[in-house]
C-alpha cells in the first residue's frame, strides 16, 4: 500500500522562446507534454511499474504562461483501479523573481501500469493517512466530477 502523499511529484519547466506561440506565451501542447510527463512520474512512483497514458479526461487552460516564467507542475495519485491509476495534475505560472504563482491549467489523467511484456498489471491499494492527503483526494474527486 502506498499513501497518497508519497505519490506527489513537483517539477518546473522554464518557459523559453522555443516553447512559445506567436503571442509569446507557452504553447498549450508543451504544457500538455510537461503535465503528461509529471503525471506519469506520480503514477510510476505509486505503482512501482512503468505506466502509460490511457486517457485525459479534460484539459482546462485558465491563463497563459509567458516566456521567462516557469511552469510549476504538481501531480499526485488520487484513485486507482486494478491496473489503472488516476492522477490530478495542476500547472501554475511562477515568476521566480517575485515567487508569485497562479493556477494556469488543470487536468485529470488515467495511466495504466504495465509489466515487462507491456501487458496491464495490478497496482497496489492507495491509502490516505493524513488530513492533507484527504484534502488533496477530496479536491481531485470534486474536480474530476466537475464540481
| Domains within the chain, CATH numbers bracketed | 2-144 (3.10.129.10)
* Residue partners of 135: CB distance under 8 A and separation at least 6: none
Strand partners, 70: 14, 94
* Statement: residue 107 has pLDDT above 60: yes
pLDDT at 1: 78
pLDDT at 52: 98
Cβ atoms of 19 and 67 closer than 8 Å: yes
Q: Cell numbers of 121, please?
A: 498489471
Percent of the chain past pLDDT 70, that is, above it, reads 99
Global pTM value: 0.94
Amino acid at each position: 500500500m502506498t499513501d497518497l502523499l508519497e505519490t506527489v511529484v513537483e517539477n518546473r519547466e522554464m518557459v523559453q522562446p522555443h516553447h512559445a506561440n506567436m503571442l509569446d506565451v507557452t504553447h498549450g501542447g508543451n504544457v500538455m507534454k510537461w503535465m503528461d510527463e509529471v503525471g506519469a512520474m506520480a503514477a510510476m512512483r505509486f505503482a512501482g511499474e512503468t505506466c502509460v497514458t490511457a486517457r485525459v479526461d479534460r484539459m482546462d487552460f485558465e491563463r497563459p504562461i509567458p516566456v521567462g516564467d516557469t511552469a510549476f507542475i504538481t501531480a499526485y495519485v488520487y484513485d486507482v483501479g486494478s491496473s489503472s491509476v488516476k492522477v490530478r495534475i495542476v500547472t501554475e505560472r511562477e515568476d521566480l523573481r517575485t515567487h508569485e504563482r497562479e493556477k494556469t491549467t488543470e487536468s485529470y489523467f488515467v495511466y495504466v501500469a504495465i509489466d515487462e511484456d507491456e501487458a496491464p498489471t495490478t497496482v497496489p491499494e492507495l491509502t490516505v493517512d493524513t488530513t492533507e492527503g484527504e484534502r488533496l483526494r477530496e479536491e481531485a474527486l470534486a474536480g474530476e466530477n466537475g464540481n
